[in-house]
Each structure stands twice: as structure tokens, then as C-alpha cells.
Structure 1
Amino acid sequence: MVKQLRTLVILSCFFIPLTPFAQSANIKGTISTSDGSPVANVSVGIDGTSHGAISKADGSYIINNIKPGTWVLQVSSDGIITQKKEITVGSGETLTIDFSISETAKELQEILISSRKNTEHASVSLRLKTPLLETPQNIQVVDDKDLKAQQVISMSDGLIRNVSGAARLEHWGDLYTNIVARGSQIQAFRNGFNVVASYWGPLTEDMSFVDRIEFVKGPAGFMLSNGDPSGLYNVVTKKPTGVTKGEVNFTLGSFDLYRASMDLDGALSKDKKLLYRLNVAVQAKGSHRDYEYNNRYVIAPVVSYRLDDKTKITLEYNGQFANMTEVGSYYVFSKDGYGTYDRNLTFTNPGLPPTKINDHSGYVVFEHAFDKDWKLTAQGAFFNYKQTGMSSWPSYMDSVTGQVMRNVGVWDAKSTMELAQAFLNGEFYTGKLRHRLLAGVDAANKTYYADWGQSHDLDTPDALFDQNNPTYGVPANGYPVFDRSTPIEERAALGWGVIKQRYSSLYVQDEIAFLDDKLRLTLAGRYTDVKQVYGVDVPYDAAKHITPRVGLSFSIDKNTSLYGLYDQAFIPQSGVLTGGGKVQPVTGSNMELGIKKNWFNSKWYTTLSVYRILKQNELTADPASNPNAPTSIVLGEKVAKGIELDVRGTVLPGLTVIANYALTDARVTKVAKDVTAYKVDDIIPGYAKHTANAWVSYELQHTVLKGLGISGGFTMLNGRYTAWSLEGKMLPDYFKLDGGIFYAKDKYRITLNVFNILDEYLYSGSYYALPSVANDWNSVKPAYYYQTEPPRNVRLSISYRF
């Protein structure tokens, strides 16, 4: 002990004389908005050091023990423009440096709400005023920060790794997004509108104009009830924020990917009543398969005008214009199973004309707040989609050699949709009970016309396409010449290509809060009147149905809630029942239990849910009926059930995590007498039994390398029943590993990601059967079709904010 004390004394003798010459300095000040209000939770730091502070509720901050000298002081926070000041501080000095950000207190509040919207609130278009933590349903949100970090450029470009249980049956060349969850395809929404006009739509959204995507698991009566009960995704487009800012982004990637986008946001009037947002993008994109391409450009302007403090009108247009290879060119067909050919093999042929798509959508939104508790939102939308192009599919496969006859068919399409909705959100009390009311009406008129009635074989029986040794000269049977001289409406009627739907519905929901808002009971119901046509242009089939919704949510504490839910959806169907009677719609009833929790002051968020979806009343052909006058019987029952876990947020400073897992099981649970096509316990194809995803990112916080980070993640699918048919071989398990680095400093961000790092041969597909004699579907042999994903590939993005 004496020796240790002596050492300390000697060391003190060296350091004590130096302290008068190196007294530390201090920096203090306040952060305020442009209208003088204090700003809390803003980061103030000295570049290149670990010294920093967070502003308090009164806007004040203080940084102690600064080495004298010249430094750069930086102020930053989510959503505000970073400010820097060069300062010089002397020995022992306390320097006062104040900052005034350009935003007002009101604008800053809107920004902060927006930056924390993932764990707090749904978008306006999702209609719910209850915080997501307290909403009795599994709702997950993917925002633009996640999309940029993962370099997601369209809805079909790796987006679903961010949501538990989501998978894709096929990829369709980025034409449309077919996402399955909880055992079947989920509905596509944009800004609160159901935009499904056919099975093959809508055109997948380019991410340049997308702010966030909200995934609602299971039926959601507050949005719509006539659709599949597995759920929906709602694409929310970017809106003006009132903050003048902008961003440009350039992306280069493997297989000839060249992409540029620009996002402009600001005010058109000094009083900031008239605001705008403009997003544009242009893309040239090749493929790992020769002769394939997907080029497009996008323009999405938005203008909003605030009439007064209570009323706002927003006008928006989304235009997407695509020029791409014919749909289906990326499929490979094999008699021997999946993954049997080179993954770069393509069925297309140079010289074939492109598929061209013009996709227009326009919106008008009226919002009026009567007071702080009551708000009316009314909006209308018009969609116009035109497609001129082709699809490819083999017409014959040699059962010995596996060589095929490639066929291209015309696929021209026209779709129009007129949609309107209005909903009222309100809050009031009856005694000590708080009521949160939602009441709304929805109406839509959708038409889809497609010409599938013309086709052309590229190859001949004497010159089949050899997938082991493909040649891509002028096809043996020449190029197709299709007749487009008559209107598409007439061509569609001849080829069973007409799909129409009209519906109107009324919805009322009351959330009643008990026990000082700890217990919340949701009672709701929707009445829907729907008419639809599928195939030929005949009189509409009609269905009227009431779907109930009951939910219960209990807050264990302010950060934890338990919930239970019962909700319904229905699907109209037509036919003639054996023995007579009225055909009932298919009903899907969802029962769900879950727990949600915000951790460490809402820095990260978890949801654990279990569910059971029961489908009833589905019709199937009666095998005992007269072939000349076929009738139908009720198939029985199908059940999809599973467990879902989602984790997202900032776990530690600089460390963000998105991780999820889902166990899914969908089976036939009851079969009617004489039904032979199904039996009890049969798997219902269209899902993966086990799905797991993760994306982890870490950014250095307090070093000279601050802003440098590393990120990576994986996607795993096991027990893949994602094919259309369970005949033949199952799809093998799937594992994809991605990762990269990024660097963010001041207004710049550079992101480099490597996808499919392990260079795995990845694909999706299904069992199929093809004619083994040309044009003879009475003589078919087993086959498989699949489409491959790219091998190891790289993307580099550079963005600049101003």
C-alpha cells in the first residue's frame, strides 16, 4: 500500500504543475425554434470527439471539459436540417452558443411525430387514431429510412424481409407484387384505397414516392371487408411537410442498373399555406438473364393548401411508365425438377417487342378538423392503367429431351378505377368512459379488360428450344404479329378477360375505454354491397354481407399492452347449389391474441401474436352432378394458423435491428361428402412454414469515423409450400445473406450493399404439367417451372440532402 501511495504522489507531481496551463473549457447555450420555442432532445456535439449533450426541456445544453482550441459544433436531430458553427474556446472559458432551427414549434412537432410514427401512430389513410401500441391487431410499418438503407427500389425488391410471415409465390418481373401472408394473398392498398382491379395488379410501386408501407395482418374491417382475410398492405405516398428540403440519389448496380431519383419538399407561399412535394425517378435496369430489361420513369407531384387552421386540401398525382421484357420470360421449365438449368437461362428472344405500361393515379383529399376531438376526411381517387405487350409460356415439352416450344401470347390490358371514401374520427365521454368513434363510407367502381386470345409459337416441332444449349437468333417460326385493330373491350369479351367490381359499404366502430384508459373495448361492424363479374361480360353477381369486429386491448403499463381480436372478411362467389338454396359468400374469420411492447422510451418495439383464420362456405364442383348442368357443393373448411414475432428499433446507440419470425400452417379441416379433390389435413399451398428475417445496422457514434457503419441481414424460408400445387417435389429451403457498409456525413450518405453474398442458387416456382404432344392437353407430362434470383450482386448509392 505504501508503495502504491508513493507512486500516486510521484505521478501527481508531474500532472499538478501542468493543470494551470491546460484548464478545460465549457460550452453552453439553448436550442430554439424559429418562433422562439425551446427544443428538447436535440443532439449537440463537437465533430471528431466524443463530447456532446442532449438539449433539455427548456432547450438548454452544456458540454463540459473541452480542450481549448478551435472546434466545429454541430446540432442535429431527426427531420431537422443539421447546423454547424466553427468556434474557438479559450482555457477555462465558458462559451455561450445558441442555435435557432428553421422550423416553427408546430412544424417541429409534426416532424417529430413523423419520425416516431412507426411505434406510435398509423397514417391518416389507415383511419385509426388509436396508437399502434394500443390497437388490437398486428400492424407493422416499414418506413423510407429502412427502404433506403436496404436499397429497396420497388415493392417487389426485398421489401417483405421487414415483416413476419410475408413471402412471395412468384416475382413476375416487377410487374406486380404478389405477397402472401397467413396462408394466402394479401390485398394491395394505396393511400387507404383498395387498388386491386385484377389478380395481376396493381403495377408495383416505385419506392421514389413512397413514405411508408403499413402491413395489417388479418381482416381489417376499418379498411375493407370484401377480400381475402389474410390482410393487406397500405402504401403511403410522400406528402408535403412544410420544411424546405430536398434529396437526390444515384444508384449503380450489377446487371446494368442505373437509377436516379429526386425528392423536393417545400412551400409555395410565404405563409406556408401552400405546400408542395415532387418526386421523380428514372431507371434503366437489366437482368442476370440476357435480353431482359425493366426500364421506367416516375413523376409524383403533390400540392396541399391549408385554407385555415382546421381545413386542408391535397391534390396528388402518381405517374409510372414502364418499358420491359414480356411477362414470363424469366420462367424456366424442366421435366426433371427445380434448378436443373443454368440460372442465367432466359426464355425470351431478342427482337421481341417490349411490354409497355402507362400507370396513372390521381387523388384529392379534404381534411377538416371541427375541433381537437373531431375530424372529417374525404378523398377520391382515379386510376387508369394501360398495358400493351405479351406474356410467354411453353406450349409443348418433349418428354424425352425436355426441349420446349416457346409460345408468346398477347397481353394487352386496360384498367380504370373510381374510388371514394369519407370517414369521421371523433372522441367524446359518457361519464368516465372515453369513446373513440370511427364512422365511414366507401365506394368503388373497377373495370379490367385483358386480351389473352392470341398467341404464337416461336419454335417448331423440328426446331425446339434446347435449354441446355440455347440459341437466340431469329426464331424458327418467326416473330408474332397480333391483331390489335379492334378495341380491347371487344377482344377481352371474346377471351374471358373481363373483370368488373362495384361495391359500397358503411362502417361504424366505437372504442370504449375503461379504468382510466387501461382497458379498451372495440365494437364495430361493416355492411357491404358488392357486385362483380369475372370472365365474360355478363350481369353482375351480387352479395350483401355484414362483417363484425370485436377487439380488446389492455395496458399492463404505458409501454405494454395485451390484445385479443375477432374480425371477418368475405369473398363473393357464384354458382348453383346441388339441391338448391342461396349461394353464400366465402367467409374468413380471424381470431388473434397478442402482446405489444415499447422498450426504453419507444426506442424499439416488439409484437408477438398468435392467430387462427377459418374459411367457410367455399364452393367446389359436385362430382355427382350432371356434366351438362354442373352444380356445386360446399367444400368444407380451411384453417390457417400461426405465430408471428416482430422486433424493430434502436436497441443500443447506433445499433438498429429489424428481425422477425413466423410459423404458418394452413390445412383443410373439413371436407364435404363425395369431395375427392381434397381430404382432411391436406396442406393448402401458398406459404412457407417457417420464415425468419433480420436486418442489423451499426453506426459508429463517437470517434473520428463517426457516420461509418456496417449492416447486414438474411432471409430464411423453410417448409416452402409457396407453390401453386403440392404435386411433385416441394421447393427446397431458402437462405439469402446480404450485407454492406455505409458512411453518412453532413448532407451526404454513401451505401454499398452486396446481395446474395453466398452466391446461392435461389428460385421460386411450382409443379406444372405440359403437353407432351404438341397442342394436346389430353396428353400431359409432369413438369416444373421456376424463376431464378440474381447471383451475388452489388449496389452503390450516393445521396445528397439539401
Structure 2
Amino acid sequence: MKRLILLLLFISFGELLYGQSTGTISGDVQDEAGNPLPYASVILQGTSYGAATDEEGGYQFTAPVGNYTLIVSEVGFTSLKREITVKAGQLNSIPLVKLKEAQEVLGAFTVRDQKSEYKVEKPSESLRLNTSLIETPQNIQIITGELLADQQVIDMSDGVLRNVSGATRLEHWGNMYARVNMRGSRAAAFRNGMNITSSWGPLTEDMSFVSHVEFVKGPAGFMMSNGEPSGIYNVVTKKPTGETKGAVNLSMGSYDLYRGTMDFDGKLSKGGKLLYRLNVMGQSQNSFQDYNFNRRYSVAPVLDYQLDERTKLTLEYVYQYAKMANVGSAYVFSTKGYGIYDQRATIAEQGLDPTMVDDHSVTANLQHDINDNWKITGQLAYFNSAQEGSSMWLRGIDENDRLVRYVSIWDAINENAFGQVYVNGEVKTGAVNHRILAGLDMGTKEYIADWSQAHNLDTEENPFDMNDRSYGTPANGLPQFDRTKSLKQRANTTVISQSYSGIYVQDELGFFENDLRLTLAGRYTYVSQSSYGTGMEESQVTPRVGLSYSFDNQTSVYALFDQSFVPQTGVLRNGGDVKPITGNNMEVGVKRDFFDGRWSTGISAYRILKNNQLVPDPQDPDDPDDQGQYSLQLGQTRTQGVEFDARGELTKGMVLILNYAYTDSEITKDSREDFVGNVVPGFAKHLANGWLNYKVVNGTLKGFGLSAGFTYQGDRTTWNWSADTQRALPDYFRVDGGLFWENDNLTLRANVFNVLDKYLYSGTAYATYYYYQAEAPRNARLSVGFKF
């Protein structure tokens, strides 16, 4: 008994001594939206003391007294370090830790058996919103890099739009740039949060350096500079991840497609303060049409430097080179209708000089965490795209489809510079939570082009006969353009420039533990611009009000009202000034996640009233020398519709994307009474897409999979005005599919496009004739990828 008492006293004394030399550490870990992060790692640097967070994001463990660096990390999030002191015998409460989602892996890249994630939770930092998608009072769809790779998408013009409701592409422009329309008009093109839209640009981004693409429906001008009320698409480029890894992909396919990409990611300093990412691409491709081709390569290095624990500098350079056939050579002309000639028909000539584009961009991004709740971001960027080439059209056509083709010079420089500073913060006043966004945007744009020289390839006596096509010896010979003068001297008045600045502020007020959210925002924008020798200055305040409510963490409803202000460039036939677009957008929607958040759905209904929209002047064809030069300004248009989007994982290994959009756009007010009630050209009334990807996750066939998808467009309007007696575009239906096999390192993928081998095209009736561009018949791509 004495020995037992002595042993108990010894143990108690030891516990007392240990308690006096240790302390307990506890706290909570959340994401930026305030959601708990279970299973996050919390550890004291250089020791084995630590714990994983529980289901509610909390943690608690004991460690010896002393000063430590606490490291909190989670897959898909940027790790956080915090200096702490452990005091003897005390409960050391650590302030709430909020982890930021890593840019390079997207907001909701969760590790599961299904490697290719199609669903994400939050937009990129370049959209500036510190809110999850399900809580945002707006329709925002994100197309992940994994999905684009599964579909073997090559560039922004190559199938991206099938993954989002209501988005269509108008004209092809030789893959020079992607003209995206949604909700009745052109969507502004953004890259990393900067509006790089120009009259003919930007150059289509190659997917080799793209992380993901974000589609923001409805006005986003209050935070994203000037943008159409129809919405924007934001291309987000790849950034360093801090992991040492790489990937190589080789592809080949129909029409002499040969393509290679390399992606290197890693550390340039031992401690990881200096990171890098390098993406390289080279591609050669011909066409199903003779004399059409595309040669491209790109180089995109990125450096991340961690200046201190709270400050990071990112430097990025992107260079793209494109060499392609004459822009416009894919068009086919006929007085009889669409699809008259076989898909291989072309008006191109083999001896024409190619069009070449050198596209550069440099971006510097500085981010500083003021504290755990406030962050400031600054960004400067310069874009320069130089083009030398030509375009093609017709001078005239007779009833037997014999035409006189002409080639005009098309040299251009597209130069942009941008500066942005914005702050994100979160603060509480009583029971109300505030998510603050405020910032300054500035930018200048200049587009200079020379279309002043033109050359007829054919003569009226010896026209080009679409029924008996002969190439190589045009009756009037090939053009010889004079480039002895500089482009600026040749361009004369063909200069489009814009300078703008804007200040914006937004407060998202959260009530009832942030279940009810009221968004109040506004923007002041000043714009000075000139086009074709005419100038204007405008300024306007545009408000924004949104309301959203979460029934639970997987269901929300929202309502939104906002306005837009978009200066336009163009030439009116009467010589008048072009007024800016002003518009109102009203939208309501429901968002719902299923299967523990793996599959997301959303449905929205909207109405956009837009004033002063520019459209092509239907009288243009009366003067062939002025074709495409003049615009027509409408009074007011109304676009309304319903959109449905669903994406994510249905069951283990099965991923499904579905979307549908009903769109109706018409002129509601105009001084020309005969215009009221007319449909505004450039949309499909019914548009539906689907994509299914299934992979075997167990058994002998593990890693094997298949995919299939479709695109349907019904009640298509053309991209131009047409007479009542002219034909409408037929409905559009396309099916694609493929097979793949993959393991941890190797991926083999084969896709077939236009499986049903349909004759697909888009086009318009124009004056007394039709012109259209055909899509490729059935074709295929095979790729081999290796990760290391």
C-alpha cells in the first residue's frame, strides 16, 4: 500500500510538472466564405505536435511551452503561417484562421476518386468577389481546365461554349478571335479581370496556358470596368502551385493536326519563396477546305515571389504567334441559299500571302494581406497585338453564282494598358456581417488598322464560278500591297481609341448568421474615346442591388437589379455621334447543390432593357466599297429569357453537364416605326448542350472511360439583317464522343467530332445573296499525355 501511494504521488507530481511545462492550443479553420474546413492539417513547424481539424473545422492539441510557427494547410488552399506563443498550463486560443483558395487549382478542387472535377465553389480572385458561387446573386458559370482537356479543346474558339447556357459564337474569323454572344449581344472578353475586348480581338487564347474560363451573365461593369449588359467571359491563366511537377501532351488528328504542349511547375528557391510556371505550345493544322491552314505557338512563363508572409508579387508574360490563311477565305457565297456547295468549297487562293499575328502581354500583380480579414490587390498590364495580312470578300455576284472576289489589306495594331487597385475586407457591426469590395480601374485602348488598299482577283469577263471552281490563276492576278509607309501613316482616320477610369464600391451585408445577404454597390465611370475621326466624352453612375438567401448550405435563391454603361465605337451613315449603351438588368434565380455538393444546378430568369445598341447597317451592301463600315443605332431593345445549368459528379466516376437557354430579343422602341417588333440579329432562341463523362473506378477496366455530348440550336437568327423573303438558318444539331484510359501518370484520349457527319454551318442573308461558313465533317483527335 505504501508503494502504491508513493507511485500515485510520483505520477501526480509528474503530471503537475508536465502541466506546468505545456499548454493547450485550440482554434478554428474556415475558408474565405466562412465555411468550416474539416481535416485541415494544423502543425507546429519543425515538431511532431499538431492535429487535424474536426467536422466543424475546430482543433485542439497540447505542446511544450515556447515560441512556434503554426502552419495550417489544406489541399486546394494556400497554406498559412502564424507566429504563436504556448504558455504553461493555459488554453492558448488562436484567432480564427481563414485559408485562401489556391488560384492554380480553383476554388473547389477536392481530392476524390474522380480526378477531373467539373464543378467549383468559388470564382477566381480576378473576379474580385469574396463569395461562394451558391451565395452570389448572379449566374456565374466556370469551365474548368480538366473539362476542357477531356473535350480536347484547343483554343477559345474550339468548343468552350458548349459548356455554358446560352452562349454562341458568331463568325469564325479564321480563329483569329472569338466573337461570343449571350443574352442577345456580344459578351466582353476579359483576361485575368481585365477588359481586353476590341473591335476585332483579342487573339483567341490557346488552352495550353489557361486554367479555367469564367462566364458572368448579366452586367458586371460595376466591378469589372466597361462591359456589355449581356455579360463577360474571363479567361484565367495558369499560375505556380508550389509543387514540383510537369506534364507533356502530344496530339494528332484529322486535317494534318500536330500539336504538342509542355507544362512545368516548381520552385526556383529552396524555401519556396520563388515559384515558377512555364507553358509552351506548338501546333500545325490544315483544314477540310483547300488553302486554309493555321500555324501557332505560344510561350507563357509566370513567376511568383513571396516578398514576406503577407505579400506576394506575380509576374506573367504571354506570347502567342499565329500564321493563318487569308481572313475571310472560309466564306462561301450563293444567291440560292445556305449549304449549296460541298463542305470543301472555298473562295481562297493558294498564292495569297498569309496573315500573321504577334500577340504579347505582360502583367504584374501584387497582393498584400493587411490582416486576416483585409486584403489589397494591385495590377498593371500591357497588351500589344500586331497583325499583318489581308481579308477577302466579293465585289459582286450574279444569279448563277459567278462572283468577283477582292482582297483588301488588313494590317493592324491593338494596344492596351490597364491599372487596377482594389481591396477586399470583412467586418462585423453588431449582428451584421459586411463583405466589402472597393477599387479603382483605369485603362487605355487603341486599335489602328489599314484597310485602304484592295485588289480584285477576278474580272466581270472572267469571274470565279462557284459551280466550276478553278484555283491558281485568278484573272486579275494576285495583290501586291504597298507597305513602305508605317501603319500609322497608312491608317489615316482608321483609329479607334478609348481611355476610361472608374471607382466602385460594394457592401454585402449578411444577416441571420449570413443566411440572408443584401448587396449594395455602385460605380462611377468616365470614358473618353474616338473612332474614325469622331470623339466623345461620357460619364455615368451605375447602381447594383442584389438579395440572396440560403435555406441551407446547398440551396439559395436570389434577385438582382443592376445597370450598365458601355461606350461604343462605330460610324453612322448620317454622320451622327454614336451614343453609349445604357441598360437595366433584372434577374431572379435558384441555386441548388446535390449529392453532398458534388453536383450543382441553377435556373435563372432575366430581362435586359438596352438603349442605343449598335448593329450592322442593312444598307451597307448597297456600296461594296463600304461593306462592314457603317452601323445602325437602335432605340431600345429588350432581351429576356430563362437559363438552366447543371454540372458535377452524379455518382462515383460519372460526371454530367447539362444546360439549356431560352432567349428572345427584339426592338421595343425606335424612331423608325417599321423597326419596332423586329428581332435583333445574333442569337438562337433555343440552345441546349450536354456532356457525359464516365470512368471505371474499380476492377480490371479501372481507368477506362467514355464520353459523349451534343449541341442543339433551334430558331437561329443570323448575325445580320435579312429580308422577309430570304431563308432562315436551319436548326443545328451536333454529336461528339470519345474514349480514354488513364492512370496516375499516363492518359490516352481519342475524341470524334460531328459523329453523325452532318453538314453544319452558320451564316446570314446579305443584300441579294447568302454567305455562310461550313464546319468540318466527321473528324477525330488522338492525344497522349504524361504527368511527372
Q: Determine which of 538, 553, 569 is the counterpart of 2:548.
A: 553
Contact 2:226 2:566 in 1 (8 A): yes
Task: Quote the residue 1:458 is aligned against.
Answer: 457
Residue 480 of structure 1 aligns with an amino acid whose one-letter code is P
2:562 and 2:454 map into 1 onto residues whose CA distance is 44
Task: Quote the residue 1:490 is aligned against.
Answer: 489
1:530 and 1:106 map into 2 onto residues whose CA distance is 35
The yes-or-no answer on 1:785 pairing with 2:771 is: yes
Contact 1:685 1:726 in 2 (8 A): no
Contact 1:723 1:731 in 2 (8 A): no
For residues 617-766 of structure 1, the aligned pairs below 5 Å read 617=612, 635-672=634-671, 675-679=672-676, 681-727=677-723, 728-766=726-764
Deviation of 1:364 after TM superposition, in Å, equals 0.2
Q: 1:660 to 1:574 in 2, by over 3 A?
A: closer
Q: 1:112 to 1:503 in 2, by over 3 A?
A: closer
Task: Quote the residue 1:246 is aligned against.
Answer: 246
Task: Quote the residue 1:589 is aligned against.
Answer: 584
Task: Quote the residue 1:794 is aligned against.
Answer: 780
2:476 alignment partner, SS class: coil
For residues 496-511 of structure 1, the aligned pairs below 5 Å read 496-511=493-508
2:567 and 2:259 map into 1 onto residues whose CA distance is 42
For residues 311-326 of structure 1, the aligned pairs below 5 Å read 311-326=311-326
1:358 and 1:449 map into 2 onto residues whose CA distance is 15
Contact 2:193 2:224 in 1 (8 A): no
2:247 and 2:58 map into 1 onto residues whose CA distance is 31
Task: Quote the residue 1:73 is aligned against.
Answer: none
Q: 1:322 to 1:635 in 2, by over 3 A?
A: closer
Contact 2:104 2:238 in 1 (8 A): no
Task: Quote the residue 2:88 is aligned against.
Answer: none
Q: 1:143 to 1:352 in 2, by over 3 A?
A: same
1:634 and 1:205 map into 2 onto residues whose CA distance is 31
The yes-or-no answer on 1:203 pairing with 2:195 is: no
The yes-or-no answer on 1:149 pairing with 2:132 is: no
The yes-or-no answer on 1:133 pairing with 2:128 is: no
Task: Quote the residue 2:122 is aligned against.
Answer: 121
1:633 and 1:311 map into 2 onto residues whose CA distance is 49
Task: Quote the residue 1:89 is aligned against.
Answer: none
Contact 1:225 1:547 in 2 (8 A): no
Deviation of 1:227 after TM superposition, in Å, equals 3.2
2:247 and 2:571 map into 1 onto residues whose CA distance is 58
Deviation of 1:79 after TM superposition, in Å, equals 7.5
Contact 1:279 1:301 in 2 (8 A): yes
Deviation of 1:109 after TM superposition, in Å, equals 11
Q: 1:251 to 1:574 in 2, by over 3 A?
A: closer
Task: Quote the residue 1:160 is aligned against.
Answer: 161
Task: Quote the residue 1:522 is aligned against.
Answer: 519
Deviation of 1:558 after TM superposition, in Å, equals 1.0
Residue 793 of structure 1 aligns with an amino acid whose one-letter code is N
Deviation of 1:225 after TM superposition, in Å, equals 5.0
Contact 1:379 1:422 in 2 (8 A): yes
1:743 and 1:620 map into 2 onto residues whose CA distance is 47
Runs ≥4 residues deviating over 4 A: 30-41, 77-80, 105-114, 573-577, 581-584, 617-622, 632-635
Deviation of 1:33 after TM superposition, in Å, equals 10
Q: 1:187 to 1:513 in 2, by over 3 A?
A: same
Residue 223 of structure 1 aligns with an amino acid whose one-letter code is M
Residue 505 of structure 1 aligns with an amino acid whose one-letter code is G
2:176 and 2:786 map into 1 onto residues whose CA distance is 30
Cα distance per residue 1:375-416 (max 9 Å; x no partner): 0000010011100000000111123x1111111110000111
Cα distance per residue 1:249-273 (max 9 Å; x no partner): 0110100100000000111011101
Cα distance per residue 1:199-243 (max 9 Å; x no partner): 210000000000000000010134335332100000000000101
Question: What TM-score comes out, normalization by structure 1 length?
Answer: 0.82
Residue 334 of structure 2 aligns with an amino acid whose one-letter code is S
For residues 26-175 of structure 1, the aligned pairs below 5 Å read 113=107, 115-116=109-110, 118-175=119-176
2:42 and 2:375 map into 1 onto residues whose CA distance is 28
RMSD: 2.8
Deviation of 1:112 after TM superposition, in Å, equals 8.1
1:500 alignment partner, SS class: strand
Deviation of 1:114 after TM superposition, in Å, equals 5.2
Q: Identify unmatched segments of 5+ residues in structure 2.
A: 1-38, 60-73, 78-98, 111-116, 618-630
For residues 135-284 of structure 1, the aligned pairs below 5 Å read 135-196=136-197, 198-224=198-224, 226-284=226-284
Task: Quote the residue 2:384 is aligned against.
Answer: 384
1:720 and 1:130 map into 2 onto residues whose CA distance is 36
1:109 and 1:474 map into 2 onto residues whose CA distance is 54
2:185 and 2:255 map into 1 onto residues whose CA distance is 32
The yes-or-no answer on 1:609 pairing with 2:604 is: yes
Contact 2:276 2:302 in 1 (8 A): yes
Between 31-40 and 300-309, the greater mean CA deviation after superposition:
31-40
1:560 and 1:667 map into 2 onto residues whose CA distance is 34
Q: 1:388 to 1:558 in 2, by over 3 A?
A: same
Contact 2:211 2:237 in 1 (8 A): yes
The yes-or-no answer on 1:570 pairing with 2:556 is: no
Q: 1:635 to 1:712 in 2, by over 3 A?
A: closer
Contact 1:280 1:298 in 2 (8 A): yes
| Equivalent residues, number | 684
Cα distance per residue 1:574-610 (max 9 Å; x no partner): 9999xxx999633111100001112122211111100
1:757 and 1:406 map into 2 onto residues whose CA distance is 34
1:160 alignment partner, SS class: helix
Q: 1:57 to 1:726 in 2, by over 3 A?
A: farther
2:424 and 2:76 map into 1 onto residues whose CA distance is 27
